[in-house]
Structure 1
Amino acid sequence: MSTDDVYTLMARSQELPYGEARTVLVEDALRRAEAAGDEVLAFHVRVRLTDAYRYGGEPAKAFATFSRTLADHDRDPGRFDDAHGLLWQMKAVVSSLTLFPEIPLDRTYAVLDDMERRYKAGGHSLQAVYHYRNVVARHVGDGSADEWYLKWRAAERDELSDCEGCDPTGMVRHLVEAGRHEEAFEIAAPVLSSRLSCNEQPQSIQTALLPVYLRTDRAEQAADAHRRAYRVHRSRLADLSDIAEHLEFCAVTGNEARGLEILQRHLGWLDRAPSAHADMDFCAAAALVLRRVAAAGHGAATVRRPAADGRPAADVPVADLHAELADRATALADRFDARNGTSHQGDKVRATLAAEPVAGFVPLAAHHRRPEQAPAPVPPPVPQDDDLARVDDLDELLGIADERRTGGDIPRVLAAWRRFDVLAGKTEPTPLQKARRLDGRGVEHAVAGDGPSAVACWEEAARLFGELGDETRRHRTLGRLGMARVDLGDEGGLEQVSAAARHLTAHPGEDGDAAAALLRLATAHIRLEHPAEALAALDQVVPDEAPDRVGELWFLRGQAFLLADRAGEAVAALRRSVAAARASGDPELVAAPALLLARTLARRDSGPDEETFALLDEVIAALRDASPMRAAAYSERGLAFLAVDRPADAAADLVEGVAGWAAEGLHEQAVHLRVDLAAAYLSTDRALEAAEAAEEALPNLDDDAARRCRLILAHAQKRLGEKDAATLFTALAEEAGQAGRHDAAAHFFTEAADVLTGLDMDAPAAERYAQAAEACEKAGDPYGVARTRRRAAMCLMWSGNADEAVTAMDTARAALAGLPPDDEPTRVWETALTSFEQARVLAQVGRLDEAASHASAAVDGFTAIDQTAPAEDATRLLEDIRAALG
């Protein structure tokens, strides 16, 4: 068994994040080292395996590997020499021992004492020892925690102290438990802006600060810390306890939906929880989230429990899962308290289960605004009307109501009807009066948004008018009834609207009945997407018969023209509608036609212009109160800004649009607009916001929209340095390849490879570059073939696969033959660059003569096209190779 295999496996493991895949490679490397009989190599692999177990979510397994490596070191320190690494790992072992209630506390104290002895013997500061004595004291609720904290802070830091992020994180946790939140913030503040490269930072200190931010009126910083830290924690099983803190944060900040999402994502992790303590923390925080979900009125919801250990997946009611997790957390706390001889862990669990909101609702993003609880529908206020109090005639009251209804004065219409109802309780109305009042009740229901009740009233009123032979009033009511049915999705209402229009145009009465009926008929046809029929109805309207409805007439014409794909005529009609609305002096009347005109102008090939923005500004200024139209106006202006490459302005408006749609309960519009918001964020270098907006939208999108959303998300993740970007780009590449879009596939495979290279994951990066090269061949892109093959070769060299790199570089050179001969500068550049990289690869494997030849060719090539800096680099490489040749 060759030890080369061990080094190869260890090199490959270094390219993987901590987790099962990395642990498996290191375990395999240990087996091979032991089989090869190399005890020293096995020792060093075992040290790394301790880290893999700890950071990969299996700390219990680390006890055995650490004990073995420590014993080997003690037996022969000169041979098994990694004193610093072992002393560093000892800190984590102390902390981990507290996480399993079956491990006696005496063992933890014994390791602490041994740690102190070894630190003293090595001449190290006891700062880290005091730190972990504080950790254990806090775990059991021992009052000595304060004493150890003071010693910890006073002691001098050295190379065995926790890093500049982890050390203050521990101090913050001590101070939070003591309720000293401002002190905690002061300790953390100096490192918050630092670049922390530790595996546990900066997400650990961000998580520890969540309660600090909330209790020191720093809600915006709390939301930012939650979003940034949880993105890191969510892929790490070892961080289950940290994830529990984010669950609790969501529960106490009014973000129950977000908490439920996190709970659902990680519920299956309980079957492989890294420790009993992490299990307890997660269960307690999850139970809190479920209690808050029920308190928010969603107790009938269910949570999907994933399948595990022969147990099928199931939808569990919120109440049942809450009881189960609360009991589980409490039972685990009892085990810890029995081991520790205190009630401290149980007290913490009980406090978590009973936690209440801390800072009200904390929005996690600009577009996360909690909609106000919709009040129960109430009728408009009825004003006091002294003139009506003197009216005792029912017909006169109904006449006043009709007159005021024509003028749009609904509150005073209601006042007249209320006076009628009072008198009708004393004097029996006539059948005609009953029918007219029933018609009025339909109007009341319509104003309150109760369409079905309005339909029921109007159906009965129409019947009564028919029995009385009052055809004019019957057809007026039929028109309203039919329109209400169309609005409710019942196309059968169209015939009633048509019948009303036919009768009222044939028998015109007062108050512009004919014009009103025709406008209503046109509206119904537009709702049902019958543009020709709508225009035919509008052609029958005599503007002089309804001078106050000219704006409405042109607005309907504009809508009908748009449905008929007659955009030019639509724009002209809408401009006339806007002009008429402006002339009325009521800014709100301008909003609807101006919004539609702006939307139409923005969708022309030339895109939005000054008129578009002026119209949208006018609409937004006119609509002060929240409404779907206001949300639409912000959405349109945001999209217009995006179209003219003003992404910062676009983001501000799209935030308003998303929040507005969500507040109105129109979630489909909000979902799709989030994709545009994500694009705006990405264009303004707000990668975190872009990623989160895209992730919110993605589960609810169809294929085409989802593809665009995933592309935005992949670029955002790339900028955040997240490996998931490579996975998304790879999936996009595979989809493009299957669709025959090989140029797109090559681009996405290259993006994936670039992400992996940036994360020093060179072996998988080489695979992606090789796939990109294949796609370039299919796309007929010889330059792409040469470049991606060359990059694949370099990644193989960086990953330690030098022999494979030599072969891959040969294929890159062979690809140069496919470059167009008439593109001299580019062909020379690509050839020179390939020679330069090939020289590096050959030098790596000791083939120095060949390397020198290629380096010389690179110098000549770069010089020939006046590339001075690359030529100088190639010259230095050639000199180094010649020096090595002697």
Structure 2
Amino acid sequence: MSIDDVAALMTQADELPYGEARTILVEDALRRAEAAGDDVLAFRVRARLTDAYQYGGEPAKAFATFSRTLAEHDRDPGRFDETHVLLWQMKAVVSSLTLFPEIPLDRTYALLDDMERRYLAGGHSLQAVYRRRHVVAQHVGDGAADNWYLKWRAAQRDELSDCEGCDPTGMVRHLARVGRHEEAFEIAAPVLSSELSCNEQPQSVLTAMLPVYLHTGRPEQAADAHRRAYRVHRGRLADLGDIAEHLQFCAITGNAARGLEIVQRHLGWLDRAPSPHSEMEFAAASALVLDRVAAAGHGGAAVRRPASDGRPAADVPLPELRAELAERATMLAARFDDRNGTSRQGDKVRATLAAEPLVEFLPLAAHHRRPVPAPSPAPPEDVTSVDDLDALLDIADRRRTHEDVDVTLAAWRRFDVLAESAEPTPLQNARRLDGRGVERALDGDEEGAIACWEETSRLFGELGDETRRHRALGRLGAMRAKRGDPRGLEEMTAAAEHFASHPTEDGDATGSLLRLAYAHVEGDRPADALAALDRVDPDDAPDRAGEMWFVRGRSLLLAGQTDDGVAALRRSVEAARASGGVKEAATPMLLLARVLARHEGAADEETLALLDEVIAALPAGSPMRAAAHSERGLALLAGDRPADAVADLAEAIAGWTAEGLHEQAVHLRVDLAAGYLSTGRFLEAAEAAEEALPALEGPSAPEDRRNRDAGRRCRLILAHAQKEMGEEDAAATFAALAEHAAEDGEHGAVAHFLDEAGEVLTGLDRDAQAAARFAAAAEAFEKAGDPYGVVRARRRAAMCLLWCGERDQAVPAMEAARAALASLPPDNEPARIWETALVSYDQGRLLAQIGRLPEAASHASAAVDGFSALDETGPAEEAARLRDEITSAMRE
């Protein structure tokens, strides 16, 4: 085993976030260091392993590594000199000891005393010691916690104090617990406005601020803090206790659905919780969320429990899981209280399980907001005093025509009550049966409606009432046509023919032809629809002119006659406005706006004016209003006005979701994500995209081209949003896009996405991984026939290899980049010179690093010449500085 092997493993580990993969590499490095017999190297690696365990979600393992490194240091401080590291780690170990009820408190207090002794001996401030004494006192419910807090705040900070984000975070938590929320806000304000680079920040301070924001009347900041912090916590097992705080936040802010998603995502972590304390907190908060879900009327739901410890995955009834988690939390709290000799942890669990909502509903994003309830309708016509059966049936028929469903149903209910004591006539019974068909249709019982109308038409026929018989036939035919029954068209045609030769004063001829035309439009038969409309007598039912022009417009559009269709829709809008105002005209206005937006490809003044009218005319909560917001948002987005579009798209999604029409909201979420991305709202873009992805790519997603393309677009938006936020997940998202593109044989797209992944990784100092991505991108560029991409990707791969310490691989990788220059097309001399100069510059840097100075100087000079030939002054000066540094080093 060589020391170089250990160094290589530690370099790889440094490129990974804390977690299982990083820990495995450090453990391997420790085994190799011990096998090599290098005690000092093993000591240093073991100290790093303590951090890996602590921050990777395995603090119990850190106790052993820390104890050994501390003992080795004490035995020979000169040889095992990591004093600062050990004193720093001691803080985390003290806090972690309290999280395991099987560890006696005496051990924690002994380590605290030892920590204070070592800090004093080293001449350090006791500020960090006071904080840990406060933590322990707070954990057991010791009243001395307040005094330790005062000492902690008063003591001078030094190099062993927690970072400028973590230290105030602890203070915020204390102040929030004792109800001093405004003071907590003041302490956190400067922290939140600064740049924090600690592994635990800013997510920890944002999580601590959740109750502070809620209690100080800052709900929007609370929602933002939840979204930003949970994004980081959700990928870290070590943060399970923090995730519990976000669950409780969801439960007390009316976001039980969001909380349920979080429970489902992390439920499997309970079996490998970092500590019994975090297990207890997560179980209690999860039980609270499930209680809220049940209170919202979803107690019959089931929660998917992932497989673990030989137990298969299974759907667990929500009440059963809630009871199990509450019992789990309560039992763990009892173990802590037995150890501590207080009721502190049990009190906390009981308070969590009984927590009441703090606000009815706090929207976490614009499109999560609940739409304003629709205004109450005007009081319906009172039919309770009507005792005449015919009068009630007439009221029902008249108000049904005006779509006044409440009055219609009330009249029929009143008829039914009176019919129990009065014997209706056969005609009255037939009319009431006709109404029952309407009731069945309103309830979605199409077969029941058909059965009623079949019998109704027969009864009217026996009674010789041909007008009512053919009205019933028209309704029956429309329902059958909707279900694909060919008899429907025959029945509607028969009704139309009857009323053409036997017109009524009620406009039945127009009504039957319009019904027939509608059926032809729905059946994709525009010529037949237009033929039916041509038979309409404009004098038969002038109040239905708007409807007639609307159906004509739809028919013409279906026939591909866009200009004529638009003209017909404009006439429909005018006629509907004249007869019923803007509300009556909303349907043709919405379709006209949609057609204009698609036809023009953007939002023109007429389109936006129409949609403005529709939105202003319809009540909140109306599905048509949601559709209008959707159209206006899409039109604005197409018109390159994303900042204006996002408000409408969010409103539309909120409307569709409130109505339970989730399918309509899915694709809009992708558009909303695009709008957020274009306006620099990267967090919102990522969250909207993540909400849409399961419905586009999940197991229940429709397998069609539209959904597939939307899924790819959604993932691309997510990747760029993650990249802009500096999230590590961006590299994986770009890699997934490359895999999708590879399935389609799109080599250019594969190369682009791999290149983006490399860009993200190198920006995060994950240079070994970046080098692999750039190398793969070069191969894809080659398959795509892009020689420039090949040169750039190979050059960047070489530099990443240099930065991660793989110098032996970096040299041939750069030589491969230079060889690829020969494939650049000769007809673009400036581009060829530019790429050659870049390769020369980077090759000069690389060779200088490994001591091949004469070659390095030659390449740097070539870079100067290339950049100068293109009049690129800045790059030429930079290359000249490199050349001069190399030649100066050669003279020394």
CA offsets per residue over residues 100-127 of structure 1, 9 Å max, x none?
Answer: 1111110000000000001111111111
CA offsets per residue over residues 628-670 of structure 1, 9 Å max, x none?
Answer: 1111110001000010100000101101110111111111001
Contact 1:219 1:359 in 2 (8 A): no
Structure 1 residue aligned with 2:629, among 634, 642, 657? 634
Structure 1 counterpart of 2:742 = 737
Once the two structures are TM-superposed, the CA of residue 610 in structure 1 deviates from its matched residue by 2.2
SS at structure 1 position matched to 2:368: coil
Structure 1 counterpart of 2:522 = 527
Across the two proteins, how many residue pairs are aligned to each other? Answer: 881
Task: Report the Cα distance in structure 2 between the residues aligned to 1:569 and 1:767, rounded to whole angstroms.
Answer: 58
Contact 2:374 2:620 in 1 (8 A): no
TM-aligned CA distance change 1:371 to 1:578, over 3 Å:
closer
Which amino acid counterpart does residue 243 of structure 2 have in structure 1? I
Structure 2 residue aligned with 1:559, among 554, 567, 571? 554
Structure 2 residue aligned with 1:544, among 539, 542, 561? 539
TM-aligned CA distance change 1:625 to 1:264, over 3 Å:
closer
1:673 equivalent to 2:678? Answer: no
TM-aligned CA distance change 1:528 to 1:746, over 3 Å:
same
Structure 1 counterpart of 2:58 = 58
Contact 2:373 2:621 in 1 (8 A): no
Note the aligned Cα RMSD (angstroms): 2.4
Contact 1:675 1:709 in 2 (8 A): yes
Structure 2 counterpart of 1:599 = 594
CA offsets per residue over residues 439-482 of structure 1, 9 Å max, x none?
Answer: 34555676788767655654443332122121211111222233
SS at structure 1 position matched to 2:506: coil
TM-aligned CA distance change 1:136 to 1:571, over 3 Å:
same
Structure 2 residue aligned with 1:483, among 473, 478, 485? 478
Contact 1:623 1:630 in 2 (8 A): yes
TM-aligned CA distance change 1:253 to 1:545, over 3 Å:
same
Contact 2:577 2:585 in 1 (8 A): yes
Once the two structures are TM-superposed, the CA of residue 787 in structure 1 deviates from its matched residue by 0.7
Task: Report the Cα distance in structure 2 between the residues aligned to 1:735 and 1:769, rounded to whole angstroms.
Answer: 18
TM-aligned CA distance change 1:851 to 1:251, over 3 Å:
same
More off after superposition, 618-627 vs 818-827: 618-627
Once the two structures are TM-superposed, the CA of residue 536 in structure 1 deviates from its matched residue by 2.4
Once the two structures are TM-superposed, the CA of residue 413 in structure 1 deviates from its matched residue by 6.3
CA offsets per residue over residues 370-389 of structure 1, 9 Å max, x none?
Answer: 468999xx99844358xx97
Contact 1:392 1:423 in 2 (8 A): yes
Counterparts of 1:582-661 in structure 2, within 5 Å, are 582-604=577-599, 606-661=601-656
Once the two structures are TM-superposed, the CA of residue 770 in structure 1 deviates from its matched residue by 0.8
Structure 2 residue aligned with 1:752, among 754, 757, 770? 757
Structure 1 counterpart of 2:770 = 765
Contact 2:759 2:770 in 1 (8 A): yes
1:297 equivalent to 2:297? Answer: yes
Structure 2 residue aligned with 1:718, among 720, 723, 728? 723
Structure 2 counterpart of 1:779 = 784
SS at structure 1 position matched to 2:367: coil
Unmatched tracts of structure 2, length 5 or more:
697-706
SS at structure 2 position matched to 1:543: coil
Contact 2:124 2:158 in 1 (8 A): yes
1:873 equivalent to 2:878? Answer: yes
Which amino acid counterpart does residue 295 of structure 2 have in structure 1? A
Once the two structures are TM-superposed, the CA of residue 422 in structure 1 deviates from its matched residue by 7.4
TM-aligned CA distance change 1:455 to 1:845, over 3 Å:
same
Contact 1:518 1:540 in 2 (8 A): yes
Structure 2 residue aligned with 1:829, among 827, 830, 834? 834
More off after superposition, 680-689 vs 41-50: 41-50
Task: Report the Cα distance in structure 2 between the residues aligned to 1:158 and 1:839, rounded to whole angstroms.
Answer: 43
Task: Report the Cα distance in structure 1 between the residues aligned to 2:689 and 2:284, rounded to whole angstroms.
Answer: 30
Once the two structures are TM-superposed, the CA of residue 603 in structure 1 deviates from its matched residue by 1.3
SS at structure 2 position matched to 1:206: helix
Structure 2 counterpart of 1:312 = 312
1:820 equivalent to 2:818? Answer: no
Counterparts of 1:394-543 in structure 2, within 5 Å, are 395=390, 398=393, 402=397, 427-440=422-435, 442-443=437-438, 457-484=452-479, 493-543=488-538
Task: Report the Cα distance in structure 2 between the residues aligned to 1:587 and 1:267, rounded to whole angstroms.
Answer: 52
More off after superposition, 621-630 vs 240-249: 621-630
Which amino acid counterpart does residue 248 of structure 2 have in structure 1? E
Contact 1:380 1:411 in 2 (8 A): no
CA offsets per residue over residues 522-560 of structure 1, 9 Å max, x none?
Answer: 112223333233222212212222211111111001112
Structure 1 counterpart of 2:569 = 574
Contact 1:581 1:589 in 2 (8 A): yes
Structure 2 length-normalised TM: 0.95
Task: Report the Cα distance in structure 2 between the residues aligned to 1:73 and 1:416, rounded to whole angstroms.
Answer: 92
More off after superposition, 861-870 vs 364-373: 364-373
Task: Report the Cα distance in structure 2 between the residues aligned to 1:161 and 1:542, rounded to whole angstroms.
Answer: 89
Structure 2 counterpart of 1:852 = 857
Structure 1 counterpart of 2:703 = none
Task: Report the Cα distance in structure 1 between the residues aligned to 2:791 and 2:817, rounded to whole angstroms.
Answer: 5
Structure 2 counterpart of 1:254 = 254
Structure 2 counterpart of 1:193 = 193
Once the two structures are TM-superposed, the CA of residue 64 in structure 1 deviates from its matched residue by 1.1
Which amino acid counterpart does residue 474 of structure 1 have in structure 2? R
Contact 1:215 1:359 in 2 (8 A): no
Which amino acid counterpart does residue 631 of structure 1 have in structure 2? A
SS at structure 2 position matched to 1:483: helix
Structure 1 counterpart of 2:36 = 36
TM-aligned CA distance change 1:291 to 1:825, over 3 Å:
same
Identity %: 74
Contact 2:554 2:565 in 1 (8 A): yes
Task: Report the Cα distance in structure 2 between the residues aligned to 1:555 and 1:646, rounded to whole angstroms.
Answer: 30
SS at structure 1 position matched to 2:46: helix
TM-aligned CA distance change 1:6 to 1:541, over 3 Å:
same
Which amino acid counterpart does residue 363 of structure 1 have in structure 2? P
SS at structure 1 position matched to 2:366: coil
Task: Report the Cα distance in structure 2 between the residues aligned to 1:845 and 1:686, rounded to whole angstroms.
Answer: 44
Task: Report the Cα distance in structure 2 between the residues aligned to 1:380 and 1:439, rounded to whole angstroms.
Answer: 27
Structure 1 length-normalised TM: 0.95
Structure 2 counterpart of 1:707 = 712
Task: Report the Cα distance in structure 2 between the residues aligned to 1:413 and 1:338, rounded to whole angstroms.
Answer: 68
Once the two structures are TM-superposed, the CA of residue 175 in structure 1 deviates from its matched residue by 1.8
Unmatched tracts of structure 1, length 5 or more:
none
Task: Report the Cα distance in structure 2 between the residues aligned to 1:874 and 1:709, rounded to whole angstroms.
Answer: 41
Contact 2:590 2:628 in 1 (8 A): yes
SS at structure 1 position matched to 2:239: helix
CA offsets per residue over residues 771-803 of structure 1, 9 Å max, x none?
Answer: 111111111111111111101111111111111
SS at structure 2 position matched to 1:101: coil
Counterparts of 1:281-292 in structure 2, within 5 Å, are 281-292=281-292
Which amino acid counterpart does residue 669 of structure 1 have in structure 2? Q
Contact 1:737 1:775 in 2 (8 A): no
TM-aligned CA distance change 1:41 to 1:508, over 3 Å:
same
Once the two structures are TM-superposed, the CA of residue 574 in structure 1 deviates from its matched residue by 1.1
CA offsets per residue over residues 660-700 of structure 1, 9 Å max, x none?
Answer: 11111111001111010000000000000000001001000
Contact 1:381 1:411 in 2 (8 A): no
Once the two structures are TM-superposed, the CA of residue 744 in structure 1 deviates from its matched residue by 1.0
TM-aligned CA distance change 1:15 to 1:394, over 3 Å:
closer
More off after superposition, 109-118 vs 206-215: 206-215
Task: Report the Cα distance in structure 2 between the residues aligned to 1:247 and 1:491, rounded to whole angstroms.
Answer: 55
Contact 1:462 1:475 in 2 (8 A): yes
Contact 1:372 1:663 in 2 (8 A): no
Task: Report the Cα distance in structure 2 between the residues aligned to 1:513 and 1:75, rounded to whole angstroms.
Answer: 104
